[in-house]
Every structure is written in structure tokens, then in C-alpha cells.
Structure 1
């Protein structure tokens, strides 16, 4: 069974606008919503961005069914003991709807700018491994355990595609996510993730029934054409075929990232593309 998440970067929109889109996703066949985690907007530092865990808590309080997560939380931003407590709290207040997505940190300049150090990519992966081990200790009930413990397992998603990250996926993760810029690598990477389930982030230039195909496609290509196969443009029928092909390659969840995340587009996508998979 395919799972569908709305990937909703909290950039350029107010909190009320983001909440509206999440609530629209909930009533339009989506299973979850995911935010990003940065202290400044990637490639546009003057553009406002909201804090990831606070926004997730806000949206969780205003939805009933939607699962809540991130692609992905930046490990260097939070001490593992604080992260463990935040995750348990958000999982509890949401009725078990929170999923913990983690990565080692993809923007070294951001880490330096805000005082998180100058660790190499290799060292950041090592630090992420320590966090994963710590989380198990804090949640497992041994002498280091925090109280309260999770009342139910908190699903863990890891993002990244290097050999050391894939080893962490095999050892620790319930889910693994492939970013849109590397969708073409899905067939070669799925065999390397062990028992984890595969998810794919996909940018979509969705052309609604009454949409202008040329206008939607040209705008999406201008903004996201560098994604290559990570961008797909089309009406519902084409997108059903596209996602079906990725499912055949091993993807079990899709994080749909709209080139134009208007509430109307989110609703129509859910009512046509997602519904098309039964």
C-alpha cells in the first residue's frame, strides 16, 4: 500500500496559510505532512522560515488524522537528550502521529554561521550515529532512560544516500528517504537499505483539469528543472503512471512537493492522483 505525504516547506507562507494546506491534505487522501528544518531558507536567507518542531506541534494540534514529520530534522541543531524528550512529547500530544525524521546536516555554511561547528560530513554522520544510539537508550528503560518513555514506538526515518548513511539506515531506520534530486538512483539504492521501507521526495508540477499545461510546466521547469527526474509535470493520468512506476521500483511512500502548493491543487491531486491508486 502506498503512503502519501505532503512535503510543505515552511518558507514564504504564513503559519495560517501553512495550516490551511496541511488541513486540506488531511481531507484530500494524504496520510501525512512533512516540514523541513533550517534556521535560514536555503539559497534565500532573506526569506522568512518557521522553526520546524514548533510548527509541527502547531499543525498536529489542528489536525486529527494526519501524521506529522520532517524531511529531515538536522541532527547538529539539537542535543540528543533534548531531541528524545521533544519526540516523546510530540508523539504523545498528537496521539502517536509523530514520526522522527533525521539527517546529519546538509548545509555546512549554515552550521558554521549559527555556531554549530565545522565538523566534516564524515564526522556529522558519526555524530548522527551517536544520536541514534542515545535515542534507544533514552527510550529503552535502562539506567539512562527518560520518563515518560514512549507509549508506542516512534517511527524513525533517515535521509541520505552515502554508504555510511545507508549503513545507519540498515541498522536503525524504519524508513529511508531519497531526495528529489536523486530520484533516478532509486533502483540502485533500494537493495541497500535492508528492512527499511523506501520513500521518495518528488517535485510535481500538477496540471489540474482546468489548468494551463504550458504555463504550469514552463514555470515549474524555470524553478525546478535542475531536479531532473525529481520534477514531473502533468495531469492526473500521467502522474498516476509516474508514481506507479516508482512504486514498481520499490518506493512505498511519496513526499509530494508541489511547484505551486495552492490548496486547490493539493485537494485536486488527492482526489484524482491518490484516489487513482484505490
Structure 2
């Protein structure tokens, strides 16, 4: 059984709108929700963006069943001892619904602007490896173990595709996520994930009942055509077939990113037609 997450960058949306979409996703059969982690909206520094752990905490408190996480938190933004404590706290408060998604950082411009982290990508990955080892220690009963210990398992989600990152995936990750812009490389990269379960991020131009397919495709491509293979457009039948093809390649979780910014109507129909359609079809 595959899992469905709503990928919802917390950019340009009021907190109330994010809560509405999260609750709609929960009611529509999604298993979880994931946010981004940036100090400025990537490529749009004048746009508003909410802090990642704060918004995740609020959404966990505003939902009942939905798992909450990120694609992904930036390692450089938080000391690992603080992040380990935050993760345990949110996991306990949500009844085990928090997952720790973590990466080395993907937007050097904001690191330079806010004087945080390192510009050298190799150094960032090396630091992530050290911090992952520390987080595991902080969660353990060893000398550095923090109190309280995790009450629930806290799944670790790592993104990335380079050899050094994939080594960290094999060593630490419960889930490996492939970014949408590289989804066409899934067959070549999947083996490098080792025993980690596989998820993919996917932008969707969803043609709802009554929509003009050409219009949906035009708007979706105008907004997100730069994602290349990361954008797929289609109606429910076409999307069920598409996601079934990914599931056949060991993908067990989909982070669905909507080209219409997750309009509640799209979430409701997607749940009824695509999520249920793939479940019944399999």
C-alpha cells in the first residue's frame, strides 16, 4: 500500500489557508503533509514564507491523523542538539505523527544572505553526516542521550542523489526521497538507496471533472514547466496509470505538489479519484 503526502510549500499562503488545506487533505485520504525549510522563498525573496518547524507544529495541532514533516529541513539552520529535542517534542505532542526530513541545504543564496551554513556543498554534506550521527546519539541511552527519549519511532527522511548523500541514505535513512526534477533517473538511482524505502516528489497538473484539459496543461506548464520530468498533467485515469508505474518501481510514497497550489477542490477530487483509484486498482 503506497502512502500519499501533500507537499505544500508555505509560501504566499496565510496560516489559515494552510490549515484549511491540511484538514482537507486529511479528510480526502492523504496520509501526511510536508513543508519546505527556507529563510526566504527560493527565487522570490520578497514573498512571505513561514518558518518550517513552527508551521509543522501548528498543523500537527490542527489535525488528528495526518503525519507531518518536511522536504527537507536544512541541517545548517539548527544545531543538532536543538533539532533532536524539537523532533522528540513534536513527535510526543502529535502522538508519533512527526517525521524528520533533513538535507544539507539547496539554496546557497540564502545562506550567504543570512550568513548561515557553508557555501561548499561537499562540506555541507560532510557536516550533515556528523550531525546525523549526533542526533542518533541524542535519541539514545548513551552518554549524550537527551531526556526524554523518543516515545515513538521518528522516521528519518533524507533527500538527494549524489554519491556522498546516498551513502548517508544507506547508513541512516528510513526513507529516501527523490526530487521531482530528477524523477526520470529513478531506475538508475533506486539501487543506491539500500534498504531505505523510496519516495518521490511529483508536481501534478490535475485535470478535474469539467476542466478544460488544454487550459490546465497550459497553466501548469507556464508555472512549472521548468521542472521538466517533475511535472505530470492529466485527469484521474491518466494519473492513476502514471502513479501505478512509479509504484511498480518500488516507490512507496508520493509527495504530491499541485500546480494550482492545492486548491481544496483539487484535494477532494484527487482523493476520491486518484488515491482511491490506485488503491482499488492494486
The answer, yes or no, to whether TM exceeds 0.5 is: yes
Q: Does 1:21 align with 2:24?
A: no
Find the counterpart in structure 2 of residue 238 from structure 1.
238
Find the counterpart in structure 2 of residue 137 from structure 1.
137
Gaps of 5+ in 2: none
Find the counterpart in structure 2 of residue 89 from structure 1.
89
CA contact (8 A) 1:38 1:74 kept: yes
Specify the SS of the correspondent of 1:269. Answer: helix
Find the counterpart in structure 1 of residue 71 from structure 2.
71
CA contact (8 A) 1:177 1:199 kept: yes
Q: Does 1:179 align with 2:179?
A: yes
Structure 1 residues 267-276 or 111-120, which shifts more? 111-120
Specify the SS of the correspondent of 2:199. Answer: strand
CA contact (8 A) 1:187 1:250 kept: no
2 CA distance for matches of 1:221 and 1:273?
A: 21
Question: Equivalent residues in 2 for 1:108-119 (5 A)?
Answer: 108-119=108-119
Question: Equivalent residues in 2 for 1:245-260 (5 A)?
Answer: 245-260=245-260
**What is the CA-CA distance between 1:158 and the residue it aligns to?**
0.2
1 CA distance for matches of 2:89 and 2:118?
A: 31
2 CA distance for matches of 1:117 and 1:20?
A: 34
Find the counterpart in structure 2 of residue 270 from structure 1.
271
2 CA distance for matches of 1:172 and 1:118?
A: 22
Runs of 4+ in 1 over 2 A off after TM superposition: none
Specify the SS of the correspondent of 2:64. Answer: coil
Structure 1 residues 69-78 or 247-256, which shifts more? 247-256
Task: Summarize the Cα distance change of 1:188–1:69 in structure 2 as closer, same or farther, 3 Å threshold.
Answer: same
1 CA distance for matches of 2:74 and 2:123?
A: 14
CA deviation string 1:48-93 (max 9, x = no partner):
0000000000000010000000000000000000000000000000
Find the counterpart in structure 2 of residue 107 from structure 1.
107
Question: Equivalent residues in 2 for 1:114-263 (5 A)?
Answer: 114-260=114-260, 261-263=262-264
CA deviation string 1:177-208 (max 9, x = no partner):
00110010111111110000010000000010
Specify the SS of the correspondent of 1:191. Answer: helix
1 CA distance for matches of 2:62 and 2:12?
A: 20
Specify the SS of the correspondent of 2:139. Answer: helix
**What is the CA-CA distance between 1:277 and the residue it aligns to?**
1.9
1 CA distance for matches of 2:152 and 2:69?
A: 16
The root-mean-square deviation of aligned C-alpha atoms, in Å, is 0.7
CA contact (8 A) 1:11 1:47 kept: yes
Q: How many residues align?
A: 278
1 CA distance for matches of 2:152 and 2:42?
A: 34
CA deviation string 1:92-147 (max 9, x = no partner):
00000000000000011111111114341000000000110001110111111110
